[in-house]
């Protein structure tokens, strides 16, 4: 089923969500919404593609549908690796997962935009000593591996959450895993988390 068709069918059960249930919301320099880190480890990041709380069209199904750059600002000493889950809680009874990414070194300064849609990706665009860092991606709720951008029904605006997790150990799931497997693996390994949110809406023709 087409992503827009799926969301249109789910409109009757869509709930308005303004942010995560944990943490204290604060505005960043771009005017977008970010959460204060929760749990014990410090963890902060930025997404330049979210401007004044709006996700730029290039990173959606109305544009090039490429993943945005994620800049890692600070990670605590207890964090051994990072994982990311991007979802749309306005899609229906369950959040619609757009992207899962893990095995990210906490020393990495940024995840570049337009990450290739493969289960295992060598980030050759990232400057590093020795071999380029390699990250893992899972299957999104559209059934494809890697990132799929915001694509709400015409005339609707949805909230999108970029949830970054600091883990005490590797996630331990195979590249290409489905969202449920990734969520299950996060239990018991998260020592810090923070959420960055942006909105995207499509005009009515």
Interval 51-70: pLDDT, tens: 999 999 999 999 999 999 99
**Looking at the domain assignment, is residue 21 inside a domain?**
no
What are the distances in angstroms from CA 202 to CA 54, 61, 121, 151, 163? Answer: 12, 10, 31, 8, 23
146 three-class SS? coil
Range of the domain at 118: 35-201
**Looking at the domain assignment, is residue 15 inside a domain?**
no
Write out pLDDT tens, residues 90-149: 998 999 999 999 999 999 999 999 999 999 999 998 877 778 999 999 999 999 999 999
Q: How many domains does the chain have?
A: 1
CA–CA gap between residue 84 and residue 195 (Å, rounded): 10
59 three-class SS? helix
Q: What is the CATH number of the domain that holds 119?
A: 3.90.280.10
For 39, phi then psi, to 5°, come to 65, -160
SS (H, E, C) 178-204: CHHHHHHHHCCCEEEEEEEEEEEEECC
The pair of structure tokens assigned to 160 is 């999108």
**Looking at the domain assignment, is residue 20 inside a domain?**
no
**Looking at the domain assignment, is residue 29 inside a domain?**
no
């Amino acid at each position: 089923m087409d992503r827009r068709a799926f969301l249109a069918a789910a409109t009757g059960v869509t709930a308005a969500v303004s942010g995560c249930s944990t943490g204290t919301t604060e505005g960043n320099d771009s005017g977008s919404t970010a959460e204060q880190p929760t749990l014990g480890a410090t963890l902060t990041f930025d997404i330049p593609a979210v401007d004044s709380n709006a996700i730029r069209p290039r990173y959606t199904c109305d544009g090039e549908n490429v993943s945005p750059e994620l800049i890692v600002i600070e990670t605590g000493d207890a964090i051994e690796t990072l994982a990311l889950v991007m979802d749309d809680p306005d899609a229906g009874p369950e959040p619609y997962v757009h992207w899962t990414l893990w095995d990210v070194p906490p020393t990495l300064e940024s995840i570049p935009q337009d990450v290739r849609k493969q289960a295992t990706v060598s980030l050759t665009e990232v400057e590093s000593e020795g071999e380029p860092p390699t990250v893992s991606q899972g299957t999104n709720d559209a059934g494809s591996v890697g990132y799929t951008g915001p694509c709400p029904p015409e005339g609707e605006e949805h909230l999108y959450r970029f949830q970054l997790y600091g883990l005490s150990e590797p996630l331990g799931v195979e590249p290409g895993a489905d969202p449920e497997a990734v969520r299950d693996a996060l239990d018991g390994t998260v020592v810090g988390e923070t959420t960055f949110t942006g909105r995207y809406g499509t005009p009515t023709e």
